Amino acid sequence: MSKKASIGVTGLAVMGRNLARNLARHGHTVALHNRSEQRTRELVEQFGDEGDFIPTYSAQEFVDALDRPRQIVIMVKAGAPTDAVIEEFAPLLEPGDVIVDAGNAHFADTRRREAALRERGLHFVGTGVSGGEEGALHGPSIMPGGSKESYESLGPLFEDISAKVDGAPCCTHIGPDGAGHFVKMVHNGIEYADMQLIAESFDLLRGALGYEPAQIAEVFRTWNTGRLDSYLIEITAEVLAHTDAATGKPFVDIVTDQAEQKGTGRWTVQIGLDLGVPISGIAEAVFARSLSGSAGLRAASRGLPGPTRVPIADATGFADDVERALYASKIVAYAQGFNQIQAGGAEYGWDIDLGAVAKIWRGGCIIRAKFLDDVTAAFSAEPGLPTLLTSGDFRKAVEDAQDAWRSVVATAVKLGIPTPGFSTALAYYDALRAERLPAALVQGQRDYFGAHTYRRVDREGSFHTAWATPERAEHPA
Ligand code: 6PG
């Protein structure tokens, strides 16, 4: 009997191909399958010498090539194609076998699929994989959900191929059913917020100081040597330093200013609304992309009046302030994202270790950053931390950033430079720390027009005031 594969990958477009190669490069025998045979052949032709591959050309052949429990990684388009592939393989599998969906699936789909396959005795593992093509090949951050049992066989393989930071793998069992895809979704939401804040910083340095993109690239390079050290800052500097070969102009000036989105950021916001978690930083980032793409609306509004732009005297001082505002706003965005994971965990009965999530985001993924060392430490020290903002180092950082943060937002407002990310982060921060919020008045308004009742600060129970009567008497509701 010839050697069997410890894992199989079906769907050999670039992400699937790179994951398969990564597994093989780590000494695992990998069965290969793809809807069209061509991709399978190409992979073996081009990269066959990287490890042990077993190319297969039918679903049955693929399943037969696998050791038990069989572990099949599906890497196809999220949605209907994923369901189709599951239905192709599930009937050929036996109880205890594992199907992994490593695409960017919606966690609700993952919950549905997991429940259905569990009924059939199969493990379904929705797995977040971050890091793009390069990450898939050289070490992504991996966020598997599904049963504990499935992680026993799958975990060692995934930990092996994941990125490593200080020797620790960027992979951990997140929690049951859809927990892995949920956490990947929030990762992407945070990714949107992080990108938006960086983009606003660029816009401020250019709009307020008149810096050229290449100059701003240098500023970002400097920032990348400090507490903002991160993959996104690093690539931002690269993009800004790039000159378009055809025109000789800065690359950033020849790209249309309409950002696209595949949908994971939007999902994060939709779920944030459902869970009632204020993730305003992520929401503003998604809306900023939508606004950028509203071409007709923007064209119609272009002539609207704005303020006169007064030049800023202390350019270096302002740039330093933007760094502080960016750091403080980033803390808010992550605080909100982690609160969403907390809320999702409570809603769906997942026991998610936030410190472990921060730890596996330190490497491999798009939001990887030095900052995540501190986030990991904060949640490890206090697993029930209500918000990152109150944890020692972050509290100190926002305290130190106070004046700069406010002055940058005020300057942006004065100059008419849109900074929805910075502004909402600061508003969220001020709302959290407020002794009293005007929500009390909103409760009064609701009771007035709809008898929706209110609670009092000094007594238990719900109350209603008879607003339409001259006495305006209060009654327990
Ligand atoms: C990752 C990325 C990856 C992808 C997203 C975002 O973690 O590797 O988040 O999943 O880049 O699809 O893309 P959009 O900006 O198009 O939503």
According to the model, what pLDDT value does residue 140 have? 98
> Does the Cβ of 132 fall within 6 Å of ligand 1?
yes
> Does the Cβ of 235 fall within 6 Å of ligand 1?
no
Q: Sign of dihedral through CA atoms 300, 305, 311, 312?
A: negative
Does residue 203 carry a pLDDT above 80? yes
Q: What is the percent of the chain where pLDDT is above 90?
A: 98
According to the model, what pLDDT value does residue 2 have? 76
Per-residue pLDDT tens digits for 87-109: 999 999 999 999 999 999 999 99
Question: Which has more pLDDT, 169 or 309?
Answer: 169
Pocket test for ligand 1, best of 143, 264, 289 (most atoms within 8 A of CB): 264
Compute the distance from residue 185 Cα to the ligand 1 centre, in Å: 9
Q: Going by CA atoms, what residue is nearest to atom 4 of ligand 1? A: 132
According to the model, what pLDDT value does residue 311 have? 82
> Does the Cβ of 280 fall within 6 Å of ligand 1?
no
pLDDT band at 195 (very low <50, low <70, confident <90, very high): very high
Per-residue pLDDT tens digits for 257-289: 999 999 999 999 999 999 999 999 999 999 999
pLDDT band at 470 (very low <50, low <70, confident <90, very high): very high
> Does the Cβ of 114 fall within 6 Å of ligand 1?
no
Identify the three-state secondary structure at position 421: helix
Compute the distance from residue 74 Cα to the ligand 1 centre, in Å: 18
Query: Which whole number is the average pLDDT over 310-326?
Result: 95
Alpha-carbon span 180 to 368, nearest angstrom: 17
Does residue 416 carry a pLDDT above 60? yes
> Which amino acid, residue 281?
G
Pocket test for ligand 1, best of 230, 268, 366 (most atoms within 8 A of CB): 366
> Does the Cβ of 264 fall within 6 Å of ligand 1?
yes
Tokens 């990958």 — which residue?
A: 9
Does residue 111 carry a pLDDT above 70? yes
Enter the tokens of residue 304.
């609207």
> Does the Cβ of 131 fall within 6 Å of ligand 1?
yes
pLDDT band at 347 (very low <50, low <70, confident <90, very high): very high
Compute the distance from residue 263 Cα to the ligand 1 centre, in Å: 9
Q: What is the percent of the chain where pLDDT is above 70?
A: 100
Instruction: Tell me if 173 sits within 8 A of 128, measured CB to CB.
Output: no
DSSP label at residue 56: -
DSSP label at residue 243: B
Q: Strands 141-144 and 123-130: what pairing?
A: antiparallel
**Phi-psi label, residue 416: left if phi above 0, alpha if psi -120 to 50, beta otherwise:** left
Enter the tokens of residue 347.
């809603």
**Phi-psi label, residue 457: left if phi above 0, alpha if psi -120 to 50, beta otherwise:** alpha
Q: Going by CA atoms, what residue is nearest to atom 9 of ligand 1? A: 188
Q: Rounded to the nearest 10 degrees, how much is the dihedral formed by the CA atoms of 50, 53, 57, 59? A: -130
Per-residue pLDDT tens digits for 365-400: 999 999 999 999 999 999 899 999 999 999 999 999
- pTM of the complete model: 0.97
Alpha-carbon span 20 to 205, nearest angstrom: 43
Cis peptide bond prior to 69, omega within 30° of 0: yes
Pocket test for ligand 1, best of 188, 260, 270 (most atoms within 8 A of CB): 188
Ligand 1 atom at shortest distance from the alpha carbon of 264: 17
pLDDT band at 1 (very low <50, low <70, confident <90, very high): low
Query: Which whole number is the average pLDDT over 419-430?
Result: 98
pLDDT band at 193 (very low <50, low <70, confident <90, very high): very high
> Does the Cβ of 40 fall within 6 Å of ligand 1?
no
Per-residue pLDDT tens digits for 55-71: 999 999 999 999 999 99
Q: To which H or E segment does residue 16 belong?
A: helix 14-25
Q: Is 184 a catalytic residue?
A: yes
Q: Among 184, 127, 173, 110, which Cα is nearest to 352's?
A: 173
Q: Is 3 a catalytic residue?
A: no
Q: Find the helix packing angle between 392-415 and 179-209, rounded to 10°.
A: 50
Instruction: Tell me if 415 sits within 8 A of 309, measured CB to CB.
Output: yes
> Which amino acid, residue 297?
L
> Does the Cβ of 104 fall within 6 Å of ligand 1?
yes
Per-residue pLDDT tens digits for 357-371: 999 999 999 999 999
Q: Find the helix packing angle between 392-415 and 420-433, rounded to 10°.
A: 130
Residue 62 Cα to chain centre, angstroms: 33
> Which amino acid, residue 251?
F
Instruction: Tell me if 53 sits within 8 A of 32, measured CB to CB.
Output: yes
In whole angstroms, how far apart are CA 258 and each of 252, 255, 288, 294, 300?
12, 9, 10, 8, 16
Per-residue pLDDT tens digits for 114-126: 999 999 999 999 9
